[in-house]
């Protein structure tokens, strides 16, 4: 009977601990959001931006930022590379 009680309590503890792990991981890495022209941006602080390569074509870029509520976001967007000449 004691063994059954110990087994039941340990399974409840393990289940409770397992439920907490994914929420901590999700808070550390925000989901990547795709930019569209209708996207409302609330950028209070830019944390990092990818550097545009020296190519003459549209390239994918990423920007990580904090909004006015302190939440982090990663935004994926497209821009023209730095390799085009004007002449």
For the chain, which residues make up each domain, given as ranges? Answer: 2-80
Give 5-63 as a DSSP string: HHHHHHHHHHHHHHHHHHHHHHHHSPPEEEP-TTPPP--SEEEEEPPPPS-SSEEEEEE
pLDDT, mean of each 10-residue run, the chain (87 residues): 60 55 63 93 96 94 96 96 80
How many angstroms separate the CA atoms of 49 and 60, rounded? 11
Tell me if residue 87 falls in helix, strand or coil: coil
Model-level pTM?
Answer: 0.62
Instruction: Domain 2-80: give its CATH architecture.
Output: Roll (2.30)
């Amino acid at each position: 009977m004691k063994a059954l009680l110990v087994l039941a309590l340990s399974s409840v503890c393990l289940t409770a601990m397992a439920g907490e792990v994914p929420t901590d991981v999700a808070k550390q890495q925000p989901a990547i959001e795709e930019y569209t022209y209708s996207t409302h941006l609330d950028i209070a602080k830019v944390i990092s931006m990818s550097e545009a390569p020296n190519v003459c074509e549209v390239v994918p870029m990423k920007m990580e930022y904090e909004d006015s509520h302190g939440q982090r976001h990663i935004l994926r967007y497209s821009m023209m590379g730095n390799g085009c000449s004007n002449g």
